[in-house]
Amino acid sequence: QQQVKQSPQSLIVQKGGISIINCAYENTAFDYFPWYQQFPGKGPALLIAIRPDVSEKKEGRFTISFNKSAKQFSLHIMDSQPGDSATYFCAASKAGGYQKVTFGTGTKLQVIP
């Protein structure tokens, strides 16, 4: 059972445009929602994360929007750059202790000049 659904599977955006990736979760016990960026042949790196007590978090060009009632969250990349071309994974985990992280299916982003 896929607990975190992610869309789209792939995305092509022009340089300077806005990239939007959406995720939906099922488990209301999830308490931590990170986004990871992965380049080919490398491990994932944390990009930005949010907890359900806020509806939006912004760090530089990256913004997470969170809708607790809809159980959805999204990543917005403003002024997308070719260097942002990578695979992005949303994820979720439960609160407390050493909880495992469940990943979405991933979105391959390509930013074209």
> Is 12 one of the binding residues for another protein (CB under 8 A)?
no
Q: Compare residues 26 and 79 and give the one whose CB is closer to another protein.
A: 26
Instruction: Give me 57's structure tokens.
Output: 């978090």
Quick one: which of 5, 57, 61, 108 contacts another protein (CB under 8 A)? 108
Q: How distant, in Å, are the alpha carbons of 6, 21, 76, 90 from that of 108?
A: 11, 10, 14, 12
Q: What gap in Å lies between CA 14 and CA 16, rounded to an integer?
A: 6
* Footprint on residues 32-61 left by another protein (CB under 8 A): 32, 34, 36, 41-46, 49
Query: Are the CB atoms for 92 and 33 separated by under 8 Å?
Result: yes
> Is 99 one of the binding residues for another protein (CB under 8 A)?
yes
Q: Compare residues 17 and 106 and give the one whose CB is closer to another protein.
A: 106
Q: What gap in Å lies between CA 71 and CA 45, rounded to an integer?
A: 24
> Is 1 one of the binding residues for another protein (CB under 8 A)?
no
* Chain contacts with another protein (rule: CB under 8 A): 31-32, 34, 36, 41-46, 49, 89, 93, 95-106, 108
